Structure 1
Amino acid sequence: MIHTYSYGGKSHINVYSDMNDWMDVTFTVDDKDRADAVQTLRKAYDDWFEPVPEAECECYGDWLEAAMKEAGIEYEVSYADSDSDEEE
């Protein structure tokens, strides 16, 4: 799933999974790169879930960041804190 919003000339693109709450990352890009970034991240996300052979052993965040770098899109990235490793 992808959710986007814009503020102050920057677009924030949140990529997350409804099924895996530990998958939650936000990419910040210039507004002018928003459409390309969304398209790049959507394809990379889909490829990771329906793995192309190269994605099979990659962490989802590494895979998404590599796609952005390959597309030449400058970004900042932040990952949501995960409490999945904490004992209940």
Structure 2
Amino acid sequence: MPKLNGLKEKIERQANRMKKAEREQQTLIGQTIYIGTLGLLLVLPIVGGAYLGHWLDSMMDGYSIRWTTSLILLGVMMGAVNVYLFIKE
């Protein structure tokens, strides 16, 4: 009999998980907002780095893209970390 009780409890837990998953199922709008948020978390640091780098390069004499490329790469890394932390949460 102990095996049957354990099996019954396991089945009840799985059934409860399935019911909970059905109740909490994401809608299309919810998924769209989630993906949009991920996109913004990735893109905003990159664009911000590009603008700041371009502004810093324009202050220097001659043609330079050092700050622009450096800050774009920093923005890519920051954006990737943002997305990772958001998904992990």
TM-score of the pair, normalised by structure 2:
0.32
Kindly name which structure, 1 or 2, has the bigger radius of gyration based on alpha carbons: 2
Which is richer in strand? 1
Which is richer in helix? 2
